[in-house]
Structure 1
Amino acid sequence: MTRTWILPMLLVLCGSLVSTGLLFSGNPGEAAALLLVFVLLAGLNSPLIFPRSIGALEAQRRSAVDGRPVVFWRPGCKYCVRLRIRLGRNARRLHWVNIWRDPAAAAAVMAANNGNETVPTVVVAGQPHTNPDPGWVREQFSPSP
């Protein structure tokens, strides 16, 4: 759990240090803007924005049972963030797999993308789709009320 917070905490720490330097040099506006940028980057890379990741094998097993898509993603990917944000609350209904934490997931993504770790790769009914439109992904499952 604490490992997933390392990058966000480092971003906040670095932003705080740089902002403090700007503040002491007499640039409070720049300091505040820069700190805000670092905090937003930390939030985008935190576990708060992505649902809890599971392993590739577990995700495939669950998908076979409930028919929901599996999303292979990695931290720092702007396309993964776009997909997550555009799916909104429904994103939690999908099975999210972090390819940097699961070698089997990375291998599955590379097999689907000619040896590249291109994410997000969404697997629907056993078929991989690389960087699909979020609207299309939303159509692939029927959200519950």
Structure 2
Amino acid sequence: MWRTWILSAAMVAVAAVVLLTGAFDVTSVVTAVLLLALAWVVSPLFFPHHVDDATARRDAAARGVPVVYWRPGARSASGCAPLCAPARVARSG
């Protein structure tokens, strides 16, 4: 858990150092704001967390939508024609 936050924590620390040690000129404020925005983007808060199968099925049933599993390395629909075609036929028929 700590490894996922270490880069964001380092960026926040650098932004704090920039603001506390430098004059509050435009460059230091812009640098700090950019560092804080980048820290948010690389933090686990920016990306959705992993949901286990039971939770995904329960949420999907409540919303009436299917559960879609993503396999690492899977391509878009145009790149998986041999694998996706039987699934499309089964869904349509």
Q: TM-score range by the shorter chain?
A: 0.5 to 0.7
CA-based RMSD:
3.1
* CA–CA separation in structure 1 for the residues paired with 2:10 and 2:67: 38
SS at match of 1:14: helix
- The 2-side partners of 1:14 and 1:53 are apart by 29
TM-score normalised per structure 2: 0.53
Question: Out of 21, 27, 32, which is 2:29 matched to?
Answer: 32
Q: Which letter maps to 1:48?
A: L
1:87-128 CA-to-partner distances (Å, cap 9, x unmatched) read xxxxxxxxxxxxxxxxxxxxx43xxxxxxxxxxxxx4xxxx2
TM-score normalized with structure 1 length: 0.37
Identity across matched positions, percent: 23
CA distance in 2, matches of 1:21, 1:3: 27
Letter in 1 for 2:3: R
Q: Distance in 1 between matches of 2:22 and 2:70?
A: 44
Q: C-alpha distance in 2, partners of 1:40/1:28?
A: 19
Larger Cα-atom Rg: 2
| Structure 1 match to 2:50 | 53
RCO higher in 1 or 2 (8 Å CA, sep ≥ 6)? Answer: 2
Tell me how far apart the structure 1 counterparts of residues 6 and 38 of structure 2 sit (CA, whole Å). Answer: 13
Report the number of matched residues.
67
Provide the residue aligned with 1:14 in structure 2.
Answer: 14
Matches of 1:6 and 1:16 in 2, distance apart? 15
Structure number with higher strand proportion: 1
Kindly state the Cα deviation for residue 10 of structure 1 after the two structures are TM-superposed. 0.5
